[in-house]
Structure 1
Amino acid sequence: MKIAVAGTGYVGLSLATLLAQHNEVKAVDIIPEKVELINKKLSPIQDDYIEKYLAEKELNLVATLDAELAYKDAEFVIIAAPTNYDSKKNFFDTSAVEAVIKLVMEYNPNAIMVIKSTIPVGYTKSIREKTGSKNIIFSPEFLRE
């Protein structure tokens, strides 16, 4: 399959590394240094497994700053963008997730978007209504354990 992963923090890079063993994966980030490191098979985050897999496994993984390139042919787009929580306002900042959804809707509205980011209860339903897309689903973050 062709899969795009939006965000190369711990969640996004873990998923991109795992999925790139058997799929064509394009990882999108907005930080050029992270993209460059990943394309050199170096991890921008400290994690023994990610570092080992990038260095030793045959991965079909390319990192890019070009969202259109990553999203236009993807069957699935995994959204692992940050959603910072403001405990004083009791508010999740979902703007990064919404920016990814907007780009996917522009470049490839038929792609299935899987939100892995932490989002508030009811968010998936509201963003589906807002965008008119039924291709947005939520799959909670995971713990390796």
Structure 2
Amino acid sequence: MRSMPVPPPSHANPSRRGVAWEICPRTPPRLQVEVAPDQQQYPRCPKLTRPQLVPGFAIQLWWDYFGQKVALRNARNEEVYRYDKSEGLEGRFWCQLHQDFYASVVLKKGKAPIVPCRYVDWAYFEKLDDPFFNEAIAKCKEFGLYDLMGF
């Protein structure tokens, strides 16, 4: 007798709370963060954008650092922060090296993700008093990751 075919897995349900809810039911859906008036609010994750031209400044030729480890290593040997910030570059970059690296390496990967941050509810795991969790918490404290992961 032939076996019946296995039904396809159900599609993801975005309204379902998921595994994280069963593990940490007190975890808020997102952190409450105060936004300064000069910061821009995005309804979704922001997308990476190409460097823009600054009006009034001469356009410089850019260097493609993709796959050129030696050229990048040599360029990084120079201490760029001893000079003033270049006004001819967009506000995100301090020097031409930063802009060239961003445009040729970071953006070259196609869909470079910007993902929402998550954090660990340490108080919940400490209250469980599980030996495995206690060992993981101790290791995170030992490596200095405890505060960072709980932020």
**TM-score where L is the length of structure 1:** 0.22
More strand by percentage: 1
Query: Which TM-score applies when normalising by structure 2?
Result: 0.22
Larger-Rg structure: 2
